[in-house]
A and B are shown apart, each in its own frame.
Chain A
Amino acid sequence: AQTVTQSQPEMSVQEAETVTLSCTYDTSESDYYLFWYKQPPSRQMILVIRQEAYKQQNATENRFSVNFQKAAKSFSLKISDSQLGDAAMYFCAYRRDGGTSGSRLTFGEGTQLTVNP
């Protein structure tokens, strides 16, 4: 079974600084997708960034970028120029490619990010 581990329950960053959230996963599959989701307090979960395992190039979305190390099964999220609105719980998620179980997302435990003004 696939597992996703986020070893940092809490992180904090100063506004305008850079922070990196860690995620490792375990799978025997070669084709899969990785995601970072953001869940602000009392608000719904939204997708921040995704990475296809077959792509070597790291995904980037504005101030958000990932460091995807397939061999190490590591998928970290870097937030540059942190803003107060980035404060939220961040979840790393895995989804295998294909099959009926290829649709479920497997989430990590989450990292609570605080942005200090």
Chain B
Amino acid sequence: DTGVSQNPRHKITKRGQNVTFRCDPISEHNRLYWYRQTLGQGPEFLTYFQNEAQLEKSRLLSDRFSAERPKGSFSTLEIQRTEQGDSAMYLCASSLNSPYEQYFGPGTRLTVT
């Protein structure tokens, strides 16, 4: 399967713990995006990379959130000191350097108890 992959698919953590998610984009795609989707809502943009450079961050990305894309390949999204409000589906997408389609991964569902 050459699509976007995300790991883990599900994560349950206790409030205050740190969590890290991984996204592997489609191999030739130089752009990578993170979105957050809460139940019954549309995805909301968090951040985006072009190659290894993080070019844009949403105001939703508080200082507890950090994302990296070393060497312009896979990306990680870390949430420190998780809160119950962080419970959501975290979606990763990738694309070529074009205005067209973003290809989405299956998401990581985070539950903070």
Contact = CB atoms under 8 A, between A and B. Distances in A.
A16 interface: no
Interface string B12-52: 00000000000000000001010100001111110010100
A104 B107 contact: no
Contacts of B107: 44
B33 A110 contact: no
B31 A45 contact: no
Interface string B65-109: 000000000000000000000000001000100011111111100
Contact of B48 (A4, A104, A109, A110): A104
Interface residues of B, number: 27
B56 A101 contact: yes
Among B45, B48, B102, B105, chain A packs the most CB atoms within 10 A around the CB of B102
Interface of A: 4, 33, 35, 37, 43-47, 50, 91, 93, 95, 97, 100-110
19 contacts: A4-B42, A44-B3, A44-B104, A45-B91, A47-B101, A50-B100, A91-B42, A101-B56, A103-B56, A103-B95, A104-B45, A104-B48, A104-B58, A105-B35, A105-B43, A105-B45, A106-B45, A107-B44, A109-B42
